[in-house]
Amino acid sequence: MNLQERILLLAKLGNYLKNNDRDWLQARLLAEQKNAWFTQEFIQHAAEALSHHFLQQDKMLAWADYYKIDDPIQPRVVGMVMAGNIPLVGFHDFLCAFITGHKQVIKLSSKDDILLKHLVHTMAAWDKRVNDRVHFSEMLKNCDAYIATGSNNSSRYFEQYFGKYPNIIRSNRTSVALLTGNETAEDLEKLSDDIHLYFGLGCRNVTHLYVPENYDFIPLLKSFDKYSYFTDHFKYKNNYDYQLSLLLLNKKYYMTNGSTLLTENDSLFSPISQVFYRFYNNREAVQESLQGNTNVQCIVGHHQVPFGYSQNPGLFQYADGVDTMAFLLGL
């Protein structure tokens, strides 16, 4: 299977994700039954983002051309440990390995072990040569390189197991927004998407806000109303009630629209249903400090990642800023 054939097959998959194929709808339902955080709305959002931002023939051709990918290459076996915090979160790693022509052995998270497997099996039904390039396994052994994504704790084990091989190992990250106080209602609505999509479980979800002194929080809280229906979701509601109880017991100041809590806190990582904020008086100093912070996946704001785009990365936007394509092509 040459590069052109791989790109055409992936473009066909992009079209598949746009349609309500019976088998795809069934896979989505099974994924939600297994993991209640994977609602149909958010699986659909993930699929549309992949189809639009990744699986367009012209975009993939330009991507491959940038790296001067050419056939044939010496295929290596790449072991993949994928996260499962949001639907199809490991797809970009799969795509990089598939485009470059390597073989891959994938260990899926138990939280997200249906969707990608279904898509790969669908591709294999169109072209059986896919079966020679992509395998799923609970054990990753005898691979030439590894790409592993997990928590801060699991990343230490990944270092121990995979450290002697070429590797990319990722740990916990989150995203922040740097606000000026001059944001429009449309900006704030898009920021609400950056915060709430996938219930805030992704590393590209904004969990911390930097706001100027005397910031008016009322328009921001109103923008959260778009996701007030989250309280109808039992897992989210349990988290909201628990976090609210802690704030009340500890007599902490908070603001809420009834579904999302805002609290002043220096931590970048906030719990589900809660967003932290802190005040600043020097925007440039905050921006400079964030640029080198290894806990930060992306910064949303003016002259940063545009509002509403944190959960819609393009092909060239790599997790943790590590160029996965360059890594794979250098094996």
232/237 Cα distance (integer angstroms): 7
- Residue 292 pLDDT exceeds 90: no
Banded model confidence at residue 291, pLDDT cuts 50, 70, 90: confident
CA 326, 82, 171, 246 dihedral sign is: positive
HEC profile for 113-134? Answer: CCHHHHHHHHHHHHCHHHHHCE
**CATH number of the domain residue 28 falls in:** 3.40.605.10
Residue 325 is assigned to a structural domain of this protein: no
Task: Clarify whether residues 16 and 38 are in a common domain.
Answer: yes
Task: Clarify whether residues 164 and 203 are in a common domain.
Answer: no
Residue 75 is assigned to a structural domain of this protein: yes
Task: Clarify whether residues 158 and 291 are in a common domain.
Answer: no
Residue-wise pLDDT tens digits, 126-162: 999 999 999 999 999 999 999 999 988 888 999 999 9
Task: Clarify whether residues 198 and 84 are in a common domain.
Answer: no
Task: Clarify whether residues 166 and 239 are in a common domain.
Answer: no
Q: Which long-range contacts (CB under 8 A, 24 or more apart) does 192-197 make?
A: 192/223, 192/224, 192/226, 192/227, 193/226, 193/308, 193/311, 194/300, 194/307, 194/308, 194/309, 194/310, 194/311, 195/224, 195/260, 195/275, 196/224, 196/226, 196/227, 196/230, 196/260, 197/42, 197/45, 197/311
- Residue 93 pLDDT exceeds 90: yes
- Residue 70 pLDDT exceeds 90: no
Residue-wise pLDDT tens digits, 235-255: 999 999 999 999 999 999 999
Q: What integer pLDDT is reported at residue 119 of this predicted model?
A: 98
Residue 52 is assigned to a structural domain of this protein: yes
- Residue 167: other Cβ atoms inside 10 A: 18
- Residue 71 pLDDT exceeds 90: no
Residue 31 is assigned to a structural domain of this protein: yes
Looking up tokens 């896979």, which residue turns up?
27
Residue 309 is assigned to a structural domain of this protein: no
Calculate the alpha carbon distances from 151 to 107, 158, 159, 240, 314 in Å: 15, 10, 12, 23, 24
- Residue 72 pLDDT exceeds 90: no
- Residue 89 pLDDT exceeds 90: yes
DSSP per-residue string spanning 261-281: EEEE-S-S---TTEEEEEEES
Residue 321 is assigned to a structural domain of this protein: no
- Residue 308 pLDDT exceeds 90: yes
**CATH number of the domain residue 184 falls in:** 3.40.309.10
Domain that holds residue 99: 3-172
- Residue 9: other Cβ atoms inside 10 A: 18
Residue 326 is assigned to a structural domain of this protein: no
Q: Is 80:168 a contact under the CB 8 Å cutoff?
A: no
Task: Clarify whether residues 208 and 59 are in a common domain.
Answer: no
Task: Clarify whether residues 147 and 25 are in a common domain.
Answer: yes
- Residue 265 pLDDT exceeds 90: yes
- Residue 293 pLDDT exceeds 90: yes
Task: Clarify whether residues 230 and 82 are in a common domain.
Answer: no
Residue-wise pLDDT tens digits, 294-305: 999 999 999 999
Task: Clarify whether residues 79 and 187 are in a common domain.
Answer: no
Task: Clarify whether residues 75 and 128 are in a common domain.
Answer: yes
Q: Which of 193, 254, 192, 259 is nearest to 231 (CA)?
A: 259
Q: What integer pLDDT is reported at residue 232 of this predicted model?
A: 98
**pTM to 2 decimal places:** 0.95
> What is the arithmetic mean of pLDDT over 168-189?
97
Q: What integer pLDDT is reported at residue 87 of this predicted model?
A: 98
What is the total count of domains within the chain?
Answer: 2
276/269 Cα distance (integer angstroms): 8
Residue 320 is assigned to a structural domain of this protein: no
